[in-house]
C-alpha cells in the first residue's frame, strides 16, 4: 500500500474519479460523502468492492463526527461543498456557512494527523467573477490576477466568497496545503446540470432535421477532461514545490465558443441538427480560460485530452449508463 488518503465529496464527480485513480495505484482510500449530491451507483459499488476503499457517510459540518475519523492520513483531498447554481441562488447563507464550517472541521482534522504530507482544497474559477465584471481581467487568467468582489448582497456571490475565504483559511492554517481553482472540468458521471451533459442529452434526443437550442453561443470556455484534472491534482499534491500554492486547474490551449461546443456535440451524437442561438445566460462571463503556466512549472503536467476525444468519451458513458439505461448519475 502507498499509504492512507481521505477524499471528501468522494461520491461526487471529480472526487470519485480521483478516488478511483488513487485506489488503482494502491492507496487505502476513505471516501466521505453524505450522498446529498453524489449517488451510490454501480461504479461506486465496484470501487468499494475493490478492497482498499470504504465510504463513510458522515456530516462534515458535525465537528464530533469529523473528530471520529482516523489520524493516519497521508493526504487529505477536500472536494466536498455545496455547489450548483440552484443551491447557490436558493440557499446562499447555507452555502457561506456550511462550506466554511466543513473546511474548518477538515483543517482541524488535518492538524490531528500524525504525518500529513498535504491537504488539497478545491476552490473555484468563480473567484475571478468580480474581476470579470469590474476590471480588465487578462485572458488566459493567471492566479496572480487581482481579485475584485461582486456585490455581497447577490446570491451568486456566496459560493465564490466561501471558496475565496476557504483559500485564506488554508493558507493561514499552518498545514501543508495545495489549492486548485478548477476551470470547466467535464467528463463521465458529472451529473446532468452542466453544459456538456445537458447538450449531449438534448442532441441525442432530437431527431435529424431538428434544432438544438443553445444559450450564450458566443461565450467561450476552455474545457478540461476529468482524467487530466485528476492527473494534475495528484501531481501537485506529490510535488514538494506545490505546497502553499494556489494553482489553476484546467486546459489552456483549446478555448472555444459554446456554439462550437454545441456543433462538436451534434457531430459526436451523429445527428443532423441546427444550433439555435438563444439568449445569454444571466451572470455568465463572456470568456473563461486559465493560464496554466504555474501548474506546468510546478508539476510538468499539461492537459492532453482534446475536446473531440473528451466529448466522445463522455457521450459513450452517458449513453450506456444514463440515456439508454435511465441509470443513477451523480447529481
Residue 96 lies in a domain: yes
Instruction: Please state, in angstroms and rounded to a whole number, the distance separating the CA atoms of residues 11 and 36.
Output: 10
- Nearest to residue 286, comparing CAs of 228, 234, 215, 209? 215
Range of the domain at 248: 4-187+223-252+287-304
Residue 326 lies in a domain: no
All three cell numbers of 258, joined, read 459554446
Cβ-count burial 88-125 (b if 16+ within 10 Å, e if not): beebbeebbebbbebbbbbbebbeebeebbbbbbbbbb
**Residue 68: strand, helix, or coil:** coil
- DSSP code at position 163: H
Q: What is the mean pLDDT of residues 261-290?
A: 94
Q: Round the average pLDDT of the chain to a whole number and report it.
A: 95
Question: Which pLDDT value is given to residue 285?
Answer: 87
Instruction: Please state, in angstroms and rounded to a whole number, the distance separating the CA atoms of residues 198 and 108.
Output: 38
CATH of the domain at 87: 3.40.50.720
pLDDT at 69 over 90: yes
- Nearest to residue 5, comparing CAs of 103, 73, 68, 52? 73
Q: Which DSSP string do the residues of 191-230 spell out, in sequence order?
A: -SSSHHHHHHHHHHTS-TT-EEEESSTT-EEE-EEHHHHH
Element (H, E) at 121: strand 118-122
Residue 258 lies in a domain: no
Question: Which pLDDT value is given to residue 282?
Answer: 80
DSSP E strands: which ranges in 147-202? 177-182, 185-186
Q: Number of folded domains in the chain?
A: 1
Residue 203 lies in a domain: no
Instruction: Please state, in angstroms and rounded to a whole number, the distance separating the CA atoms of residues 81 and 34.
Output: 11
Instruction: Please state, in angstroms and rounded to a whole number, the distance separating the CA atoms of residues 124 and 162.
Output: 10
Q: Which residues are paired to 233 by β-bridges?
A: none
Cβ atoms 41, 19 nearer than 8 A = no
Question: Which pLDDT value is given to residue 30?
Answer: 98
Residue 319 lies in a domain: no
Instruction: Please state, in angstroms and rounded to a whole number, the distance separating the CA atoms of residues 262 and 277.
Output: 10
Contacts of 97 (CB under 8 A, 6+ apart): none
**Residue 155: strand, helix, or coil:** coil
Residue 320 lies in a domain: no
pLDDT at 87 over 90: no
**Residues 19-28: pLDDT tens digits?**
999 999 999 9
Residue 292 lies in a domain: yes
pLDDT at 330 over 60: no
Question: Which pLDDT value is given to residue 289?
Answer: 97
Place of cell 482510500: 29
**Residues 203-238: pLDDT tens digits?**
999 999 999 999 999 999 999 999 999 999 999 999
Count of residues making up the chain: 331
Contacts of 81 (CB under 8 A, 6+ apart): 9, 99, 102, 122, 162, 163
Residue 103 lies in a domain: yes
CB neighbourhood size of 25 (10 A): 11
Instruction: Please state, in angstroms and rounded to a whole number, the distance separating the CA atoms of residues 45 and 24.
Output: 15
Amino acid at each position: 500500500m502507498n499509504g492512507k488518503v481521505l477524499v471528501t465529496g468522494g461520491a461526487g464527480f471529480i472526487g470519485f474519479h480521483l478516488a478511483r485513480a488513487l485506489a488503482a495505484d494502491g492507496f487505502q482510500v476513505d471516501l466521505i460523502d453524505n450522498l446529498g449530491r453524489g449517488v451510490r451507483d454501480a461504479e461506486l459499488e465496484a470501487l468499494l468492492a475493490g478492497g482498499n476503499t470504504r465510504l463513510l457517510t458522515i456530516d462534515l459540518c458535525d465537528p464530533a463526527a469529523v473528530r471520529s475519523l482516523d489520524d493516519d492520513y497521508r493526504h487529505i483531498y477536500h472536494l466536498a461543498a455545496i455547489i450548483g447554481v440552484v443551491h447557490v441562488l436558493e440557499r446562499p447563507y447555507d452555502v457561506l456557512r456550511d462550506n466554511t464550517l466543513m473546511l474548518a472541521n477538515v483543517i482541524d482534522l488535518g492538524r490531528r494527523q500524525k504525518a500529513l504530507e498535504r491537504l488539497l482544497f478545491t476552490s473555484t474559477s468563480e473567484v475571478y467573477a468580480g474581476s470579470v465584471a469590474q476590471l480588465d481581467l487578462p485572458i488566459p487568467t493567471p492566479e496572480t490576477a487581482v481579485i475584485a468582489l461582486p456585490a455581497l448582497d447577490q446570491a451568486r456571490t456566496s459560493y465564490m466568497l466561501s471558496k475565496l475565504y476557504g483559500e485564506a483559511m488554508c493558507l493561514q492554517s499552518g498545514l501543508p496545503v495545495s489549492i486548485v481553482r478548477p476551470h470547466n472540468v467535464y467528463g463521465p458521471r458529472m451529473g446532468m446540470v452542466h453544459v456538456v451533459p445537458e447538450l449531449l442529452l438534448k442532441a441525442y434526443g432530437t431527431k435529424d432535421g431538428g434544432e438544438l437550442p443553445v444559450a450564450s453561443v458566443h461565450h467561450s470556455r476552455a474545457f478540461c477532461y476529468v482524467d487530466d484534472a485528476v492527473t494534475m491534482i495528484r501531481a501537485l499534491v506529490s510535488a514538494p514545490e506545490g505546497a502553499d500554492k494556489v494553482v489553476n486547474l484546467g486546459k489552456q490551449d483549446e478555448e472555444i465558443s459554446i456554439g462550437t461546443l454545441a456543433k462538436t456535440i451534434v457531430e459526436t451524437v451523429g445527428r443532423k441538427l441546427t444550433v439555435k442561438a438563444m439568449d445569454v445566460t444571466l451572470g455568465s462571463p463572456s470568456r473563461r480560460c486559465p493560464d496554466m503556466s504555474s501548474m506546468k512549472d510546478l508539476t510538468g503536467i499539461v492537459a492532453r485530452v482534446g475536446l473531440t476525444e473528451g466529448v466522445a468519451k463522455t457521450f459513450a458513458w452517458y449513453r450506456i449508463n444514463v440515456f439508454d439505461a435511465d441509470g443513477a448519475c451523480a447529481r
